[in-house]
């Protein structure tokens, strides 16, 4: 269990305390963007692999007995997470490394899912993490999924600060039409969005991903069968 804790800690430190802070710029200035990116990618992959291996080997230490209701709650939460992740990859977004780098200077920088949350991928990871922590209720899950949860909550303000520092004027316009907290900008009347604008292809793709995980991948990869009616 200590190995899992250290693996999760390393994964969080690499992303939150190095990539997400001014330390990144200092390292890039010293070793160059190419070397830094290669080293960062290697350490990220290494720490993630370490997390997965130690999680799979960790003993089961139950913190609470998961109620059937919590397991059922995880199902719709995972559906939402899958849709958000697919939309994150298919919607150009100035705040994300996934989905392409849309410029903040463009008038339509905030569109589709970005009007609901400007961090759809990280919000999806948050929901994914919480769903698994609630449904499993063991210490290993808290350490493994908790690492992703911490990053998904720390990431948005760090990314926002970076984008604002690069172009404060364009960021201010973009931020007025968006929010990190889902639906906050819409509730406050700063923007509005339709399902058509979000894109049915991305929504359908998210549902397809959810069904693939539910019916095939989860059992094949983890040996755990999940069923919405069990």
Tens-digit pLDDT profile for residues 74-87: 999 999 999 999 99
Quick one: pLDDT at residue 221?
A: 65
Rounded to two decimals, what is the model's pTM? 0.89
Residues 95-119 have a mean pLDDT of: 77
Helix (H, G, I), strand (E, B) or coil at 105: coil
Answer yes or no: is pLDDT of 209 > 70. Answer: yes
Quick one: pLDDT at residue 100?
A: 43
Nearest to 113 by CA among 169, 196, 204: 196
What are the Cα distances from residue 135, in Å, to 47, 64, 131, 166, 172?
A: 25, 10, 6, 41, 39
Answer yes or no: is pLDDT of 132 > 90. Answer: yes
Cα angle 50, 53, 59 (rounded to 5 degrees) comes to 120
Answer yes or no: is pLDDT of 130 > 90. Answer: yes
Residues β-bridged to residue 62: 138
Residues 170-197 have a mean pLDDT of: 92
Residue 163 and residue 74: Cα distance in Å, rounded? 33
Answer yes or no: is pLDDT of 187 > 70. Answer: yes
SS3 breakdown of the chain: % helix, strand, coil, rounded to 5? 70, 0, 30
Residues β-bridged to residue 138: 62
Which stretch, 60-69, 182-191, 212-221, has highest mean pLDDT?
182-191
């Amino acid at each position: 269990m200590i190995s899992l804790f250290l693996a999760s800690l390393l994964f969080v430190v690499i992303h939150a305390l190095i990539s997400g802070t001014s330390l990144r710029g200092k390292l890039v200035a010293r070793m160059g963007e190419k070397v830094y990116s290669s080293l960062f990618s290697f350490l990220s992959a290494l720490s993630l692999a370490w997390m997965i291996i130690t999680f799979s080997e960790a003993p089961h230490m139950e913190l609470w007995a998961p109620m059937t209701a919590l397991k059922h709650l995880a199902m719709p939460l995972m559906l939402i997470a899958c849709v958000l992740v697919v939309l994150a990859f298919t919607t150009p977004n100035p705040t994300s490394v996934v989905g392409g780098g849309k410029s903040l200077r463009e008038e339509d920088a905030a569109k589709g899912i970005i009007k609901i949350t400007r961090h759809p991928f990280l919000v999806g990871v948050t929901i994914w993490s919480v769903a698994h922590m609630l449904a499993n209720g063991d210490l290993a899950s808290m350490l493994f999924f908790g690492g992703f949860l911490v990053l998904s909550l720390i990431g948005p303000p760090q990314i926002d600060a970076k984008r604002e520092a690069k172009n404060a004027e364009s960021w201010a316009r973009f931020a007025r039409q968006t929010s990190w907290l889902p639906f906050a900008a819409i509730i406050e009347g700063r923007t509005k969005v339709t399902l058509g604008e979000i894109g049915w292809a991305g929504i359908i793709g998210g549902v397809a991903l959810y069904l693939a995980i539910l019916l095939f991948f989860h059992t094949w990869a983890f040996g755990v069968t999940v069923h919405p009616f069990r």
